[in-house]
A and B are shown apart, each in its own frame.
Chain A
Amino acid sequence: EAGVTQFPSHSVIEKGQTVTLRCDPISGHDNLYWYRRVMGKEIKFLLHFVKESKQDESGMPNNRFLAERTGGTYSTLKVQPAELEDSGVYFCASSAGTRSGNTIYFGEGSWLTVV
């Protein structure tokens, strides 16, 4: 069974440009999450989808970030325009349900560098 897959794995863009990150969750997982780790800091929650609905987007840093999950399958996270402080690793994760015993599975991350 395929795990959580993310694309691109690495991206280098200039300040002011746009980048779109994609996440394909594990098939059948209704819950999809985006997290971010900037250099040397903790991994911070960005937002949580349940199917196609945004359940919690309290961690989104500002309106330059837009996440979508049309049809409740894959998700995209767009950063427009990118700033230097957006550099970091963006992790996507998915889980099957909301009970405490469910495990959240993470992808390998999309490493973003803004120069």
Chain B
Amino acid sequence: GDSVTQMEGPVTLSEEAFLTINCTYTATGYPSLFWYVQYPGEGLQLLLKATKADDKGSNKGFEATYRKETTSFHLEKGSVQVSDSAVYFCALLNSGGYQKVTFGTGTKLQVIP
């Protein structure tokens, strides 16, 4: 079945540091890939998405590129801020059959001033 593996946290960075959160997936067919974010006390928000190979999703300074050859969708940001502290979830939506999003376990990011 489909699965998503993302790096375990928590990840602690200083403000303005470079962020990478690794995500790899296993799926049949050609899934769409997503990063969702959950800020403290809030719900899930879609951060960015990519629907086909080599697509780059970007939002709020975050980027992720759909790499079919390595089945990866790593999240990056060049300079993190304290306000980026949250839990980040990598997810996929398979194109075959009925829609069902498969999530990774989530990576907690803490940015310190």
Contact = CB atoms under 8 A, between A and B. Distances in A.
Interface stretch (B17-25, B37-45, B75-83): B37-45
Counting chain B residues whose Cβ lies within 8 A of the other chain, the interface size class is 20 to 34
Interface stretch (A12-20, A67-75, A79-87, A95-103): A95-103
A111 B29 CA distance: 34
Interface in B7-41: 30-32, 36
Counting chain A residues whose Cβ lies within 8 A of the other chain, the interface size class is 20 to 34
B106 A56 contact: no
Contacts, number: 64
Q: Which of B42, B93, B105 has the most CB of A within 10 A?
A: B93
Contacts of A56: 98, 100
B51 interface: yes
A43 B107 CA distance: 12
Nearest to B46: A103
A42 B103 contact: yes
B71 interface: no
A107 interface: yes
A48 B42 contact: no
Interface SS majority for chain B? loop
A106 B99 contact: no
B112 interface: no
A60 to B, nearest CB: 13
B102 interface: yes
A52 interface: no
Interface of A: 6, 31, 33, 35, 37, 41-45, 48, 50, 55-56, 91, 93, 95, 98-109
15 contacts: A6-B43, A33-B100, A35-B103, A43-B103, A45-B100, A48-B98, A100-B32, A100-B51, A103-B46, A104-B99, A104-B101, A105-B46, A106-B43, A106-B46, A108-B42
